[in-house]
A and B are shown apart, each in its own frame.
Chain A
Amino acid sequence: MRAFLPRLALLLGGTLGASACSWSRFDDLTENSPVVLLEKPDSMNNGFGVSLATATNQGHTQVLVGGTVTTAGAALYELGQEDSPNTKTSDSNFCSGQGKPCFLSSLIAGFANAQGPDQLRSLCYAVGTGVVVKQGLVMRCGDANEYTLDMPPAAQELLAMSIAQNQPPQDYPLATDRTDNPVLLASLPEKRLAWLYPEKSTAFSALPVPDGLDVDDASFGRSLAVVAVDGGRVLALGVPGKAKVLLWKADASAKVSYVGCLRGDPGMGKALAAGKVQADGDDLVISDDAHVQVVDGATLFALPETTSNECVLSGLIPDALKTWWDCKTTGNPSECEQAEFGAALAVGDLDGDGDGEVIVGAPKMLVRGQKNAGSLLVYTMKFPWNPVLVDTKSISSAESGDELGRSIVTPHVGKRDIIAAGAPGHGKAALFYCTAQLPNGAGGARCP
């Protein structure tokens, strides 16, 4: 008996020690991890990950992470073309407000190329409103060049009042497409205004709203999307308070015309996104409080100009609605009811097969027992339009209140897109390099 216990202890110790003693395996695990958290710069002390924008030009991909709307700036990160992003910001002076007023927008937009005051500039971002040389919509490019774009007079006046009278600034949501020469769509919910900057232009065109169309709601223009299709763009503006999405189209000549209004379930237009859900062209992705719908972009572009103030169910538009789903029908994610399913949307070709996957943000989803940690739900379309939940993304270090999925973009890295998502609850922004759809080896060292 004397010798038995010590021998047993040694045996157990040896066995367990052999299995558990290697702490370096944790380094092996975390090295080239599939999720990379971007480091919040010290200068951004007011939110991080509230908004995201990405831009790619000549193989150069960047992500801009925005802070609290109107009160914080944004920080730029270089992702490169491989799977080794620079987690430290390369430029944290976006709308920093240092010396000059700048009010960050809730939706920011990235440009592969943007028309500056004097020349075409690459890798630029529309981040909000403020003053550079003059007041207007603030653009800042990768070379740290800043300029402003003129806005409609009502917007300028409101901005001037905010600057001059130190009134609470207004949000100016922004959106663009992912072409080499994108257009910029902007709105001013406060004034129910929306306008467009055509490609390679600093001049704006106001978007007409038919008389009698009931869009008088503070949610006007809280969500925007630019759908690039053959021959032009479809411009979508959400009024989720009215469960409506207004649609315009802009042809190659930059002529803008109103083409209709979609109406759906409550919250319709809570978030909008554009992208190639199928390779034939950009589609419009719309969420409401419970569903996500995919509407064919080309069909929308084909709609004739109208002045009707009617707003129809999306399903009534012939052939436009390709598919729809909700949080529960295509998967089994928990806490769907409280997840804010569809709070943010993005479309990206995560597996590089040409067809895009729809990434749906659910920032209040329970993750590993962490309330409101948030998840990203990745759906792919099985032929022809059968949505399948193929992946659920969350941050392994999820904390309660992270609210991952409040903002989503899909930066293009290499031959595919990755997911960049904001978790503003705790000021996080993460890059997801891997999805379940990636073929073996296609994801590089970070993916299995």
Chain B
Amino acid sequence: MFALVKLVFLSRLSRRSAPLLLLLALGAALAPAVSAQPKDAPGKRLEAIRAEMDKGQGLFIAGNYASAAEVFEAGYAAYPYSAFLFNAGVCYQKQNDVDRALAKFREYVKVDPHAPDLDKVNQRIATLEAAKAAAATAAPLGEAGSGADAGAGAPPVVLPSADDQSSMKSLVVIETEPDGAPLRIYQRVEASAQFTLGAANPGFKEVVATNAPANLTLDVGQYHVVVEKFRDFNASEADMTISPGHVHQLKANLSQGKFMAFLRVSSNVLGAHIWIDDKKKERSLWGDTPHGELVPGGTHEVLVEAPGFEPFLSNVDLEHGQQKELEVRLERLNYGVLHIDASAAVVAVRVDDHPKGVWRTGTAPLEVRLDAGEHQLTVESDGRKTFKGKVVVPRGQILPLHVKMIPKYPRGAAWTQAIIGAAFLGASIYAGVESNRLYDELKSDRQNGTLDGSDERATRGKWFAIGADAGFIIAGTLGGLATYNFIKDPLPESSVSEDKLYEFEDPLKARPVARLAPYKALRQDFATVEPGPHLQLMPSASSTGGGLFLGGKF
């Protein structure tokens, strides 16, 4: 069973500047929590920045401005990129916290004095200061901001209430190989304008001129990146679309003469291992999901594996300069493993009436590999109640089962009563039969006219009848008691408790964690067969935006 794969074409860079390889990676936040680790490898660090940015953006879209501001503040503390400052300022502004908004915008201007949108930010600062001044004498900023701005006659005012998700700035990381190449970034100001290298390009406005590597904070919009002629390398160029609140990565490998493609592989299993063009896994991992990297254009063989899941192997065609995200949905293996131990010294385990082994106390749990699905589990032990129940073997996971073997309730009293009752019954039957025989004899004698009233057989028969009746009553009573005591069982039945499922051992010692909801063991006796209605909230992002997906089952 191969996993589903979803190729997401985020954007495509212009390839009019063939010598420049440019990769643009747009963050697609998939993991809800990825710890920031500033000292990680550059790829990891960028993933962490992307996660923070996506998280803040998601909260902002959801209207949780306070939390979004905290995330952006924390992001800035860990990764001091000015985009975090601006975005935090917008969040404060949305909360009418003018002072803190002003502080963030002012800090933004301070730490990034060459920001391409410096004028706009200064204008926002001025507007806020004006609004703050007006608020001192009039209505609060948030509620009467429009009026105050209108009355001031100031330059166009960015109204706090007009901020939406597109107000979020994105972080753009541009690198070249080798470093130091001069960069120029032009923002498209006319929608239909086409950039021509070396021409006037009136539809574009130059917003950045710097050298690579560069970490830039840019507004949402269409841009054109130009890597100017550097050393022996020709100039290259590419279009770039900046989406709000994201981290964009661009890398130009000037020596290749072609754009490199950017492949990002994610899966429903965090930490699944990825091999590129190495299905025999002879080389080291390409990465663990989610993982993105520049790769040469062309066809690549992608192998994704995770313990407990079917391996995913697929070819991915990447054009030069193409950004592609491979979303792999790994499917669980069609078998699972039971780890069985018990509260008895020795237990014999049978599944579907087939012996599966014997577990002894002090040893490792008995490992039983079974096809996924429902099975009849039988656990037996001398002197203990046999456990019989159904167990649902999970797919691709290990289900620990702890069988509580309850001692059999002693039946000595019941057997004693049954035996004595049977003896009474036998005696009663004998007495009854004898009584009947005597009665028949006497009756025959009477019919023959030979019965005398003092015939001792009548007395004997009467006593036999009385004895039979008494015996039947005693036998019945003892039988009832025996039945009750045979049925009576104050002890509970042997039972099984399921421990938390866990994943197969990862030979690479990097045990992945399934992103999916925990696979619930389905056992009719002990657990719900299917999960009930539930809601699921997942963050998501794309080149055109981000947010949270709300889904569920009803």
Q: Which of B447, B449, B450 has the most CB of A within 10 A?
A: B449
Is A382 part of the binding interface, using a Cβ–Cβ cutoff of 8 Å? Answer: no
Q: With A13-B425, A397-B457, A432-B450 known to touch, is A25 a contact of B439 (CB < 8 Å)?
A: yes
Contact A16–B472 (Cβ < 8 Å)? yes
When C-beta atoms are compared, the residue in chain B nearest to A16 turns out to be B432
Known contacts A6-B418, A6-B486, then 17 further A-B pairs from the complex at CB < 8 Å, ordered by chain A residue? A6-B482, A6-B483, A9-B425, A13-B428, A16-B432, A16-B468, A19-B436, A20-B436, A30-B442, A30-B451, A35-B449, A36-B452, A391-B449, A392-B448, A396-B451, A396-B457, A397-B457
Q: With A9-B421, A434-B449 known to touch, is A19 a contact of B443 (CB < 8 Å)?
A: no
Q: With A6-B482, A13-B479 known to touch, is A23 a contact of B466 (CB < 8 Å)?
A: yes
Is B522 part of the binding interface, using a Cβ–Cβ cutoff of 8 Å? Answer: no
Cα of A29 to Cα of B464 in the assembled complex, Å = 15
Is A395 part of the binding interface, using a Cβ–Cβ cutoff of 8 Å? Answer: yes
Q: List which A381-401 residues lie within 8 A (CB) of chain B.
A: 391-397
Query: What is the CB-to-nearest-CB distance from A307 to chain B, in angstroms, rounded to a whole number?
Result: 48
Question: Which of chain A's residues have a CB closer than 8 A to the CB of B464?
Answer: 20
Contact A394–B450 (Cβ < 8 Å)? yes
When C-beta atoms are compared, the residue in chain B nearest to A32 turns out to be B453
When C-beta atoms are compared, the residue in chain A nearest to B461 turns out to be A26
Cα of A26 to Cα of B425 in the assembled complex, Å = 22
Is A203 part of the binding interface, using a Cβ–Cβ cutoff of 8 Å? Answer: no
Query: What is the CB-to-nearest-CB distance from A321 to chain B, in angstroms, rounded to a whole number?
Result: 31
Is A302 part of the binding interface, using a Cβ–Cβ cutoff of 8 Å? Answer: no
Is A433 part of the binding interface, using a Cβ–Cβ cutoff of 8 Å? Answer: yes
* Interface of chain B, main secondary structure: helix
Cα of A12 to Cα of B432 in the assembled complex, Å = 11
Q: List which A52-100 residues lie within 8 A (CB) of chain B.
A: none
Is B61 part of the binding interface, using a Cβ–Cβ cutoff of 8 Å? Answer: no
Is A261 part of the binding interface, using a Cβ–Cβ cutoff of 8 Å? Answer: no
Is A31 part of the binding interface, using a Cβ–Cβ cutoff of 8 Å? Answer: yes
Question: Which of chain A's residues have a CB closer than 8 A to the CB of B445?
Answer: 396
Number of chain A interface residues as a range: 35 or more
The 5 closest A-B pairs by CB, nearest first: A434-B449, A20-B432, A23-B465, A35-B452, A6-B483
Is A435 part of the binding interface, using a Cβ–Cβ cutoff of 8 Å? Answer: yes
Question: Which of chain A's residues have a CB closer than 8 A to the CB of B438?
Answer: 26
Contact B469–A31 (Cβ < 8 Å)? no
Query: What is the CB-to-nearest-CB distance from A374 to chain B, in angstroms, rounded to a whole number?
Result: 12
Question: Which of chain B's residues have a CB closer than 8 A to the CB of A443?
Answer: 449
Cα of A64 to Cα of B411 in the assembled complex, Å = 69
Is B446 part of the binding interface, using a Cβ–Cβ cutoff of 8 Å? Answer: yes
12 A–B pairs (Cβ distance < 8 Å), ordered by A: A6-B421, A7-B483, A13-B479, A16-B433, A16-B468, A17-B468, A20-B468, A30-B453, A34-B451, A396-B452, A397-B457, A432-B449
- B-side residues, CB < 8 A to A, are 414, 418, 421-422, 425, 428-429, 431-433, 435-436, 438-439, 441-443, 445-459, 461-466, 468-469, 472-473, 475-476, 479-480, 482-483, 486-487
Question: Which of chain A's residues have a CB closer than 8 A to the CB of B451?
Answer: 29-30, 33-35, 396
Q: Which of B452, B466, B482, B487 has the most CB of A within 10 A?
A: B452
When C-beta atoms are compared, the residue in chain A nearest to B456 turns out to be A397
Cα of A6 to Cα of B451 in the assembled complex, Å = 40
Q: With A13-B475, A37-B453 known to touch, is A29 a contact of B439 (CB < 8 Å)?
A: yes
Is A119 part of the binding interface, using a Cβ–Cβ cutoff of 8 Å? Answer: no
Contact A26–B453 (Cβ < 8 Å)? no
Contact A5–B453 (Cβ < 8 Å)? no
Question: Which of chain B's residues have a CB closer than 8 A to the CB of A394?
Answer: 450
When C-beta atoms are compared, the residue in chain A nearest to B470 turns out to be A21
Q: With A3-B486, A29-B439 known to touch, is A396 a contact of B479 (CB < 8 Å)?
A: no
Query: What is the CB-to-nearest-CB distance from A220 to chain B, in angstroms, rounded to a whole number?
Result: 36
Is A168 part of the binding interface, using a Cβ–Cβ cutoff of 8 Å? Answer: no
When C-beta atoms are compared, the residue in chain A nearest to B465 turns out to be A23
Query: What is the CB-to-nearest-CB distance from B42 to chain A, in angstroms, rounded to a whole number?
Result: 73
Question: Which of chain B's residues have a CB closer than 8 A to the CB of A35?
Answer: 449-453
Question: Which of chain A's residues have a CB closer than 8 A to the CB of B456?
Answer: 397
Is A313 part of the binding interface, using a Cβ–Cβ cutoff of 8 Å? Answer: no
Cα of A37 to Cα of B458 in the assembled complex, Å = 14
Contact B454–A397 (Cβ < 8 Å)? yes
Question: Which of chain B's residues have a CB closer than 8 A to the CB of A26?
Answer: 438-439, 442, 458-459, 461-462, 465
Cα of A23 to Cα of B470 in the assembled complex, Å = 11
Question: Which of chain B's residues have a CB closer than 8 A to the CB of A432?
Answer: 449-450
Is A117 part of the binding interface, using a Cβ–Cβ cutoff of 8 Å? Answer: no
Cα of A13 to Cα of B472 in the assembled complex, Å = 5
Contact A30–B458 (Cβ < 8 Å)? yes
Cα of A272 to Cα of B465 in the assembled complex, Å = 46
Question: Which of chain A's residues have a CB closer than 8 A to the CB of B414?
Answer: 2
Contact with B along A149-182 (1 / 0, CB 8 A): 0000000000000000000000000000000000
Q: With A6-B479, A9-B479, A20-B431 known to touch, is A396 a contact of B450 (CB < 8 Å)?
A: yes
Question: Which of chain B's residues have a CB closer than 8 A to the CB of A138?
Answer: none
Contact A36–B453 (Cβ < 8 Å)? yes
Q: With A10-B480, A396-B455, A397-B457 known to touch, is A17 a contact of B449 (CB < 8 Å)?
A: no
Question: Which of chain B's residues have a CB closer than 8 A to the CB of A430?
Answer: 452
Is A312 part of the binding interface, using a Cβ–Cβ cutoff of 8 Å? Answer: no
Cα of A86 to Cα of B433 in the assembled complex, Å = 35
Cα of A3 to Cα of B479 in the assembled complex, Å = 10
When C-beta atoms are compared, the residue in chain B nearest to A367 turns out to be B450
Query: What is the CB-to-nearest-CB distance from B453 to chain A, in angstroms, rounded to a whole number?
Result: 4
Cα of A67 to Cα of B454 in the assembled complex, Å = 21
Question: Which of chain B's residues have a CB closer than 8 A to the CB of A5?
Answer: 418, 422, 482
Is A332 part of the binding interface, using a Cβ–Cβ cutoff of 8 Å? Answer: no
Contact B432–A9 (Cβ < 8 Å)? no
Question: Which of chain B's residues have a CB closer than 8 A to the CB of A392?
Answer: 448
Contact A21–B450 (Cβ < 8 Å)? no
Contact A2–B450 (Cβ < 8 Å)? no
Question: Which of chain A's residues have a CB closer than 8 A to the CB of B475?
Answer: 9, 13
Is A22 part of the binding interface, using a Cβ–Cβ cutoff of 8 Å? Answer: yes
Q: With A13-B425, A397-B455, A433-B449 known to touch, is A21 a contact of B442 (CB < 8 Å)?
A: no
Question: Which of chain A's residues have a CB closer than 8 A to the CB of B452?
Answer: 33, 35-37, 395-397, 430
Contact B450–A393 (Cβ < 8 Å)? yes
Contact of A435 among B431, B449, B458, B468 (CB under 8 A): B449
Question: Which of chain B's residues have a CB closer than 8 A to the CB of A142?
Answer: none
Cα of A30 to Cα of B450 in the assembled complex, Å = 11
Cα of A96 to Cα of B175 in the assembled complex, Å = 154
Contact of A3 among B433, B457, B459, B483 (CB under 8 A): B483
Query: What is the CB-to-nearest-CB distance from A15 to chain B, in angstroms, rounded to a whole number?
Result: 9
Contact B428–A393 (Cβ < 8 Å)? no
Contact B425–A396 (Cβ < 8 Å)? no
Cα of A373 to Cα of B441 in the assembled complex, Å = 17
Question: Which of chain B's residues have a CB closer than 8 A to the CB of A396?
Answer: 441-442, 445-446, 450-452, 455, 457
Question: Which of chain A's residues have a CB closer than 8 A to the CB of B442?
Answer: 26, 29-30, 396
Cα of A321 to Cα of B425 in the assembled complex, Å = 63
Contact of A29 among B436, B458, B487 (CB under 8 A): B458
